[in-house]
């Protein structure tokens, strides 16, 4: 991971000072570096130890960072990684444009690999991420969103980059399509579990530990799994309350909404859904070599469920 950070720092070079200032502001604010870690662990599990893994791990972190910069503008978010978002600090134009810089720098780096399959995986993933975000926009304020509709969005906007990170390791390792498919299945399930937990934490997390505001999804009129389950289980009065809150897109009724989520036990059902995905991720590694990297990938899937921030 230190090597990845070196590549990240080296490839932020630009003659325009604002590019480095905004990019360093968000990248050096921390962040779990989950996607690069996934790519490195998967490479290790499959026996690949070449330097290209550091470059591609930096590429996925750049793409991830570009999506965060754009997402915080779209959502008008003010807090991320425990401090003011880049849009709050530098303004929307700088955030969008430096997101474009990081996204296109990532593409320069992937072209440097000269590997068509690598380019295809990353081009497809970023296109699906953007499409998922547009679908999420279309779904905004729709209190009737189904669990299936929700899952489709999170597979695109979040799980796709996890899937791509895992697939890239298989390509680097020269594994066949069967192993690449297992990597993809692991990445997709891990990313889905991760986003389901993220959505649970928006209602019951510790805002301080998470470094972002609670109730953001409700404020944005975003229907996520805790509310979808509460909608299925609630009384008519409870459903009407949830519907009003999602349609209004306001945190004014956050307390009452959280109370409905609690009374319908929707949070434990949400966490159980994440646990199912984590289990799917582990199952995908059944035929993997039994080494310490595979062990770490199994632990990573289990540890997501314990995540509090
Ligand atoms: C620039 C390709 C491109 C697309 C723009 C706005 C957008 C389209 C995509 C946004 C996708 C997005 C932000 C999905 C949410 C994923 C998510 C849960 C991010 C938080 O990830 P963590 O917790 O962040 O890994 P850290 O801070 O740890 O890095």
pLDDT recorded at residue 305: 87
Q: What is the pLDDT of residues 80-101, one digit of tens each?
A: 888 999 999 999 999 999 999 9
pTM for this prediction:
0.95
pLDDT recorded at residue 9: 95
pLDDT recorded at residue 215: 86
Pair of tokens at residue 205? 């997390």
Within 8 A by CB and 6+ apart from 255, the residues are none
Which of the four pLDDT bands, split at 50, 70 and 90, describes residue 208?
low
Which residue has a Cα nearest atom 2 of ligand 1? 126
Section 26-41 average pLDDT = 94
pLDDT recorded at residue 207: 66
Q: Residue 301 and residue 284: Cα distance in Å, rounded?
A: 11
Does the pLDDT at position 244 exceed 90?
yes
Instruction: Tell me which residue range forms the domain holding 138.
Output: 2-306
pLDDT recorded at residue 251: 84
User: Angle 13-17-21 (CA atoms, 0-180°, nearest 5)?
Assistant: 85
Give the chain's domain count.
Answer: 1
Q: Which ligand 1 atom minimizes the distance to the CA of 100? A: 1
SS3 labels along the chain: CHHHHHHHHHCCCCCCHHHHHHHHHHHCCCCCCHHHHHHHHHHHHCCCCCCHHHHHHHHHHHHHHHHHHHHHHHCCCCEECCEECHHHHHCHHHHHHHHHHHHHHHHHHHHHCCCHHHHHHHHHHHHHHHHHHHHHHHHCCCCCCCHHHHHHHHHHHHHHHHHHHHHHHHHHHCCCHHHHHHHHHHHHHHHHHHHHHHHHHHHHCCHHHHCCCCCHHHHCCCCCHHHHHHHHHCCHHHHHHHHHHHHHCCCCCHHHHHHHHHHCCHHHHHHHHHHHHHHHHHHHCCCCCCCHHHHHHHHHHHHHCCCCC
Q: Residue 149 and residue 106: Cα distance in Å, rounded?
A: 30
As for ligand 1, residues whose beta carbon falls within 6 Å of it are: 31-32, 34, 63, 66-68, 70-71, 74, 81, 99, 103, 126, 129-130, 133, 157-158, 195, 198
Which of 83, 158, 190, 195 to probe ligand 1 with, by most ligand atoms within 8 A of CB?
158
Which of 70, 106, 122, 191 to probe ligand 1 with, by most ligand atoms within 8 A of CB?
70
Does the pLDDT at position 240 exceed 90?
yes
* CATH code where residue 144 lies: 1.10.600.10
Q: What is the pLDDT of residues 153-182, one digit of tens each?
A: 999 999 999 999 999 999 999 999 999 999
Q: Which ligand 1 atom minimizes the distance to the CA of 61? A: 29
Which of 61, 125, 133, 156 to probe ligand 1 with, by most ligand atoms within 8 A of CB?
133
């Amino acid at each position: 991971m230190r090597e990845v950070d070196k590549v990240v720092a080296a490839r932020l070079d630009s003659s325009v000072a604002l590019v480095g200032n905004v990019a360093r502001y968000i990248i050096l604010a921390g962040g779990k570096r989950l996607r690069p870690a996934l790519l490195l662990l998967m490479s290790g599990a499959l026996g690949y130890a070449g330097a290209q893994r550091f470059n591609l791990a930096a590429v996925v972190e750049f793409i991830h960072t570009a999506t965060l910069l754009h997402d915080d503008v779209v959502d008008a978010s003010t807090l991320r990684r425990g401090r003011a978002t880049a849009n709050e600090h530098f303004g929307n134009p700088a955030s969008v444009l430096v997101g474009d810089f990081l996204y296109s720098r990532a593409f320069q780096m992937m072209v440097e690999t000269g590997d068509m399959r690598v380019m295809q995986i990353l081009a497809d993933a970023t296109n699906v991420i953007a499409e998922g975000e547009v679908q999420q926009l279309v779904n905004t304020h729709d209190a009737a969103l189904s669990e299936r509709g929700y899952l489709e969005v999170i597979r695109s906007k979040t799980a796709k980059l996890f899937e791509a990170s895992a697939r890239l390791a298989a390509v680097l390792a020269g594994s066949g399509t069967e192993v690449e498919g297992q990597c993809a299945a692991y990445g997709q399930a891990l990313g889905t579990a991760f986003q389901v937990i993220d959505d649970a934490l928006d209602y019951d997390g510790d805002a301080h530990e998470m470094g972002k505001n609670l109730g953001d999804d409700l404020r944005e009129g975003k229907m996520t799994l805790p509310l979808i389950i509460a909608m299925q289980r609630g009384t008519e009065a409870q459903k009407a309350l949830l519907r009003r809150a999602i349609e209004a897109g306001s945190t004014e009724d956050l307390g009452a909404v959280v109370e409905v989520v609690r009374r319908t036990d929707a949070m434990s059902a949400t966490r159980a859904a994440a646990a199912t995905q984590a289990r799917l991720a582990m199952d995908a590694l059944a035929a993997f070599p039994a080494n310490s990297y595979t062990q770490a990938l199994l632990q990573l899937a289990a540890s997501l469920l314990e995540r509090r921030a």
